[in-house]
Structure 1
Amino acid sequence: MRPLELDPLFKTVESLPGIGPKSAEALARVTGRDGPEDTRALDLLLFPPHAMIDRTLRTGITEAPEGTIATLKVRVDRHQPSPPGRKTVPYRVFVHDGTGEMALTFFHSKQAWLEKILPVGETVLVSGKVEWFNGRPSMVHPDHVVAESDADSLPLIEPVYPLTAGLSPKLLRRAIEAAIDLMPTLPEWADPHLVRRNSFPDMAAAVRQLHHPESALDLEPQTAARRRLAYDELLAGQLSLALVRQTLRKLPGQTVHAEGRLRGRVLEALPFSLTGSQQTAVADILKDMAGSDRMLRLLQGDVGSGKTAVAMMAMANAVEAGGQAVLMAPTEILARQHYATIRKMAEAAGIEVAVLTSRAKGRERKDLLEKIASGQAQIVIGTHALFQDSVSYASLTLAVVDEQHRFGVHQRLRLTAKGTAPHMLVMTATPIPRTLVLAAFGDMDVSKLTEKPAGRQPITTVTIPDERIEEIVERLRSALREGRKAYWICPLVEDSQDSDLMSVETRHSSLVKALGPELGRQVSLVHGRMSADEKDQAMSAFKSGETRLLVATTVIEVGVDVPDATIMVIEHAERFGLAQLHQLRGRVGRGDGASSCILLYHGPLGETAGARLSVLRETEDGFRIAEEDLKLRGEGEVLGTRQSGMPGFRLANLSAHADLLEIARTDARAILETDPGLTSPRGAALRMLLYLMRRDEAIRFLRAG
């Protein structure tokens, strides 16, 4: 049960004074919640400002610099209302001080209200942005107008928050102040030594300082208040991951003892030998699986580093020990591709492989489910269809999840419920910087594949402005004539009025036309709006060589494997993130032909876009690229937080607070070792923290455990 003291903070925002249904909708949007009923007073407390307005600049009217926020003491001379029936003409109020005069300009404002706040002959303080038109100063819609006698009520330092349609700064500010008034007295959950060493204020004081900065420095991530709140957020995240891990680990693992007979056969049949880092990863995985605890391991490897071969070694051992293994992929295309690769490897060892996706219907599906339930299907590959209730396994020993960022903790748990606690290996081709691995996968051990398999070719990467596109088409024509294969990536499916980007459909038809009748027939199209069958047909045609140029959106970003494709053109490369560009580039260079990646950009390039493209030109090291991406974009962007089920941080900034992440991780582990049920006084305070940071799912694990 949630502690009663926290109830006021879990009031919906609609219950706050002055907030109606429309404002509540806007507050839900700006705080990233699912709707007004899910948006609580608490969400406003933990919604940090991103800038501030300094109203301390007091000048005379004519001394106020153009475009700055100034606070002026002026006398009201006269009102000039909009002419009757001409609402588009602004209402003006003329004021003066000792240095000159100016107009305060208002659109669509009520005359009675303006006469009340700006009475003729009175001295008032006005604060807002000063603009100059034709040598005359003006202030459009001042932010504040107060009588001289109320000068103290004018906020001198004002925090600025992100806004959305239907939400004014005043309304948001009023809602935040109402939420602050609801703050109860909270117990201290942080370690006293940490609090002293970092001069941390308590959480309630830190929240008040967050919303009442006294200078621009108060918004810096390294202030004591910001660090305090960042630590609380990171601790809640690490504690919930550690609780998940504790629950998963409580289920004893199935000890996998195998001599490695099947593994040896698979190895002999492979056309390459394993790299050093593949061998190390296999050794770590087999050691985990042979222990009594369940394995929870993350296998990070750049595109083309050979993760599937490592997973196959683990699956062969699981099968030899009498168990079954599953491999879960995020899309149908990928599941079928894994099936093709793994079946080849498994054949040599006589292992039976089945593929189960939502496309299997009727009799075919019934037969498949029977094979899985009887244990005849020893390795099962599929999408999330693998853990529907209708699927039961004879003896599920190992679950391999490809592209973890498409699967949250909950799906991992559902898959886990299928076996008597199978070992779990999670693979990702998105190289994640160490700080993010800790933040998002604090509950896992990590293996890294750092070398490319032998025979992989380096990829030459060049950046070219899009006005030279005809040269690229000319080079493509020659390459296609020589029998080579190429990808052409566009950011959009169809043209939209508010975008100048080239859509994939438009580019497809322009390339068919430019290449002429003979080569135009060899151009195919793939995008996310096509049905699974249409996508598969286009991909098979490209794989088999029936078509040689594939025009696509980023649906081909993850895992599509066509070893003889050697050219990658990415249009509007400046619009993609670094990690995504690196993923796309990794679709070529997979065979023994020399490969190239052409980044077409639309100039002029902004500073960040320019930095991204030059990092790609300089290196193919996915881990270095991921670190640079984190510096350039911040963690929420790198992870595509909302889509990925990974933690997006509001108060913590992983590049500024990496030291706190390490401390939070150590703290979370130490706490659960001494107080696994969080029953001590500090444990009770930490339960409060989990509720405050909206990590209630972790508390369910406490109960389940």
Structure 2
Amino acid sequence: MVLYLSKKLKGGADIAQSLSHLKRWLQVAQLSDDIRYLKGIGEQRAKALSKLGINTLGELITYFPRSYEDRSKILPIAAVPHNETACVSAIVVTEPSLSRVRRGMELLKLRVCDETGSIDITYFNQSFIKNQLKEGQSYIFCGKISCEGSRRSMTNPLFEPEDAPRLLTGRIVPVYRLTAGISQKLLISLIRQGLELCRDILPDPLPESVSEKFQLCKPAYAFENIHFPADAAALELSRRRLIFEELFILTCALTRIKDAKVRKSGIIVSSPRLDDFLSALPFIATDAQRRAIEDTFKDMQSGRLMNRLISGDVGSGKTLVAAACVWAVHEGGLQAAFMAPTEILVNQHCTTFNKLLSPLGVKVAKITGSMTAKQRREITSKLKEGEITLLVGTHAILSEDVEFLRLALVITDEQHRFGVNQRAALVSKGSEVHTLVMSATPIPRTLALMVYGDLDVSVIDEMPSGRQKVDTFVVGEDMRERIYIFIRKLVSQGRQVFIVCPAVEENEERPREIKSAVEYSKKLSQEIFPDLRVGCIHGKMKASEKDSVMDAFVDGGLHIIVATTVVEVGVDVPNAALMVVENAEYFGLGQLHQLRGRVGRGEHKSYCVLFSDFEGEQAKARLKVLEKESDGFKIAEEDLKQRGPGDFFGGRQHGLPQMKIADLCTDLRILQAAQEAGRETLRLDPCLKRSENRALKQKTDELFLASANTFN
């Protein structure tokens, strides 16, 4: 080996490459090793694998199959049905014959047989196979068999020697997502290599007591059988173990974040008498609102940091809870910051907070990216001097020039648009700052820890009195004229109308029937309703333009506003009585529920019309859920089932790691068990200092490396 290594060095290979050869020879590997240490991986293949997120041995063996093909049954040739894919064990009875039929086309032909019959096999442009198939030897062939009379044939079947270890035939075979330059056969062989190297070094992050309680298999067994299952039972055991492990680690990581924040000191905000605040309101707060406010007051006067989520359906009154917290901060001579995702919402929240808090002497101001330098300097100066209690803003609030005198409370709206790190950036503008998060996007309760794992949760499950039920209808194109008549009727009664389109502008690559806000608003104003005032608002407009259109609609200057989903969250126009959504099939149920929540906010009877001409029964049934259901939590559960976690969470998972094997739609039972086990593990060992939890601590630390101080 020393001679081998010295030759390598003299030949110009660098030390790192030589050490990799030595490591391979000694069968010593680490999960962090570069994928290029594997046999058959050069620069090009390494680049291709990198596109799949595979750069290390650890990433290779945790690149799990997306599905499986059961090739475990090996049938007699005569028993294989016509046009079915099957595996057969057969002997090559003719020497493979290679012929060139035309330029760029070569055929390799051979015949194989067993005791029941024969098959003629043809390979197109795979001349290299001629040297791999030997006359008189037995192989397992797998492919689609065609029958013409008594003659059977196969084209380009997979094959493996019958007496060799099988990866592709005669077993349950994994199917992976691929990229250019990487075939199933290559990836399977690389994973086989990787598992051979890593089998004895796989860490086990699960405490032995947890594995025993939930009857979970060992990591080596799980990784072997998730990629190369011995049978269906072994595959199920492996999946269950790896899903449990992933959810258990995430539960522990998020719980550690929460516990670390609880251990931190927070500014003590002496809670004033809640009745003094509630009695000054022009309406009566619900019991659910009162409970949520009491939760926050207890948090802020505990001496510990508050990290609380206020979760409620559309229109349940979360802003009142935030206003009560700001008032408490004001009474203590402190300051608060409120961050919203769009300038439209900043303006609206600023107006709402002023209505609620100005009578109580609370100074509210806003800051946005579209402000002039002079306006910005004026606001930042007053903020630094402590003259402003509450600053409402977009991401502009994170800028370095925004300085608070005594920041005590940070409030973020629609948590799914702000990740853990962005909240932390805002909190860092003060010392011992409390955090309140408001979300009008109901998440199924069983998943709350996965999305809001670092927060305590208060649920507002009661609607304010006077909140109208919005009648919802799913209609086709045949109802369009009747809807236009209905719009005109509502406008004549003094009401206003939202119309939402899935696209901003027409696009040649999109189907023509998909409505775009710009073109459709022109058609409505010029052809359908030339006597009505129609406005248009979308995300590509300048902030000042959006503000101008929205202000005109809020003030009653526009009868109809055509928009994209920029109006999805929070926009409050009590006079709007109809929401029309075009091409509703392109939206998720939760998103449609949010849009529906833009109407029915005043005293007028309100309606939601969902236009969809999708012919599929499943698509229609999906939308019909909204006709029957108005509970946002139930709609969210249905949305999750139908669309899957990827689409459902989308940006809402920002700040959380991607799931590699767990499926939040189908693995809820395992999730509940993993959460129970994770919380109990941390109850017994909060800092994971015990030796049996060393691997678990390392795994939880790795999940949130982007935030160096996550657990500090």
Band the TM-score falls in, shorter-chain normalisation: 0.7 to 0.9
> Which has the larger displacement, 360-369 or 178-187?
178-187
- 1:636 Cα offset (Å): 3.4
Aligned to 2:40: 18
Give the whole-Å Cα distance in 2 for the aligned partners of 1:225 and 1:597. 47
Aligned to 1:359: 370
Give the whole-Å Cα distance in 1 for the aligned partners of 2:126 and 2:586. 44
- Structure 2 letter corresponding to 1:175: L
> Which has the larger displacement, 172-181 or 467-476?
467-476
Give per-residue Cα distances to partners, 1:341-386, cap 9 Å, x unaligned.
Answer: 1112122112111101222342221111111111101111112222
- Structure 2 letter corresponding to 1:502: I
Give per-residue Cα distances to partners, 1:137-160, cap 9 Å, x unaligned.
Answer: 654432x22345658664522012
- Taking a change above 3 Å as real, the CA distance of residues 578 and 214 of structure 1, as seen in their structure-2 partners, is farther
- Taking a change above 3 Å as real, the CA distance of residues 295 and 63 of structure 1, as seen in their structure-2 partners, is same
**Alignment partner for residue 637 of structure 1, among 628, 632, 647?**
647
Q: How is 1:30-41 mapped onto 2 (pairs within 5 angstroms)? A: 30=52, 33=53, 39-41=55-57
Aligned to 2:172: 157
Give per-residue Cα distances to partners, 1:56-106, cap 9 Å, x unaligned.
Answer: 333455643355321133646575745323x4x674636364766666455
- Taking a change above 3 Å as real, the CA distance of residues 484 and 583 of structure 1, as seen in their structure-2 partners, is same
Q: Retained in 1: the 8 A contact 2:72–2:170?
A: no
Q: How does the TM-score come out when normalised to structure 1?
A: 0.87
Say if 2:226 is the partner of 1:213: no
Q: Retained in 1: the 8 A contact 2:112–2:119?
A: yes
Q: Retained in 1: the 8 A contact 2:293–2:324?
A: yes
Q: Retained in 2: the 8 A contact 1:243–1:698?
A: no
**Alignment partner for residue 254 of structure 1, among 267, 273, 277?**
267
- 1:515 Cα offset (Å): 0.5
Aligned to 2:661: 651
Aligned to 1:172: 187
Q: How is 1:507-522 mapped onto 2 (pairs within 5 angstroms)? A: 507-519=520-532, 522=533
- Taking a change above 3 Å as real, the CA distance of residues 369 and 582 of structure 1, as seen in their structure-2 partners, is same
Give per-residue Cα distances to partners, 1:259-295, cap 9 Å, x unaligned.
Answer: 338x735x44533211121111111111221211111
Q: How does the TM-score come out when normalised to structure 2?
A: 0.87
- Taking a change above 3 Å as real, the CA distance of residues 90 and 283 of structure 1, as seen in their structure-2 partners, is farther
Give the whole-Å Cα distance in 2 for the aligned partners of 1:46 and 1:528. 39
- 1:437 Cα offset (Å): 0.7
Say if 2:584 is the partner of 1:566: no
Give the whole-Å Cα distance in 2 for the aligned partners of 1:242 and 1:605. 43
Say if 2:557 is the partner of 1:543: no
- Structure 2 letter corresponding to 1:248: K
- Structure 2 letter corresponding to 1:161: Y
Aligned to 1:71: 87
Aligned to 1:83: 101
Q: CA RMSD in A?
A: 3.2
Q: Retained in 1: the 8 A contact 2:537–2:549?
A: yes
Q: What secondary structure is seen at the aligned counterpart in 1 of 2:131? A: helix
Q: Retained in 2: the 8 A contact 1:435–1:654?
A: no
Give the whole-Å Cα distance in 1 for the aligned partners of 2:466 and 2:640. 30
- 1:162 Cα offset (Å): 2.8
Give per-residue Cα distances to partners, 1:322-354, cap 9 Å, x unaligned.
Answer: 111111112222112111111121221121111
Q: Retained in 1: the 8 A contact 2:281–2:356?
A: yes
Aligned to 2:699: 689
Give per-residue Cα distances to partners, 1:523-576, cap 9 Å, x unaligned.
Answer: 322222233223223322322333322222222212122221221222222232
Aligned to 2:249: 236
Give per-residue Cα distances to partners, 1:384-425, cap 9 Å, x unaligned.
Answer: 222333222111111111111111221222222222211111
- Structure 2 letter corresponding to 1:244: I
Give per-residue Cα distances to partners, 1:455-492, cap 9 Å, x unaligned.
Answer: 21111111113354344334334434444322222223
Aligned to 1:532: 543
Give per-residue Cα distances to partners, 1:96-153, cap 9 Å, x unaligned.
Answer: 647666664555x243x143245678764321234579998654432x2234565866
Q: What secondary structure is seen at the aligned counterpart in 2 of 1:540? A: helix
- Structure 2 letter corresponding to 1:10: S
Q: What secondary structure is seen at the aligned counterpart in 1 of 2:360? A: coil
Q: Retained in 1: the 8 A contact 2:415–2:652?
A: no
- Structure 1 letter corresponding to 2:423: R
Q: Retained in 1: the 8 A contact 2:312–2:440?
A: yes
- Taking a change above 3 Å as real, the CA distance of residues 508 and 7 of structure 1, as seen in their structure-2 partners, is farther
- 1:22 Cα offset (Å): 4.9
> Which has the larger displacement, 666-675 or 67-76?
666-675
Give the whole-Å Cα distance in 2 for the aligned partners of 1:106 and 1:480. 70
Aligned to 2:302: 291
**Alignment partner for residue 637 of structure 2, among 611, 621, 627?**
627
- Structure 2 letter corresponding to 1:83: V
Q: What secondary structure is seen at the aligned counterpart in 1 of 2:141? A: strand
Give the whole-Å Cα distance in 1 for the aligned partners of 2:459 and 2:440. 10
Aligned to 2:143: 128
- Taking a change above 3 Å as real, the CA distance of residues 124 and 45 of structure 1, as seen in their structure-2 partners, is closer
- Structure 1 letter corresponding to 2:405: A
- Structure 1 letter corresponding to 2:635: I
- Structure 1 letter corresponding to 2:141: V
**Alignment partner for residue 116 of structure 1, among 110, 124, 131?**
131
Give the whole-Å Cα distance in 2 for the aligned partners of 1:663 and 1:121. 55
Q: Structure 1 stretches of 5 or more lacking a match?
A: none
Give the whole-Å Cα distance in 1 for the aligned partners of 2:583 and 2:46. 37
Aligned to 2:217: 201
Aligned to 2:159: 145
Give the whole-Å Cα distance in 1 for the aligned partners of 2:554 and 2:253. 44
Aligned to 2:111: 95
Say if 2:272 is the partner of 1:272: no
Give the whole-Å Cα distance in 1 for the aligned partners of 2:462 and 2:51. 43
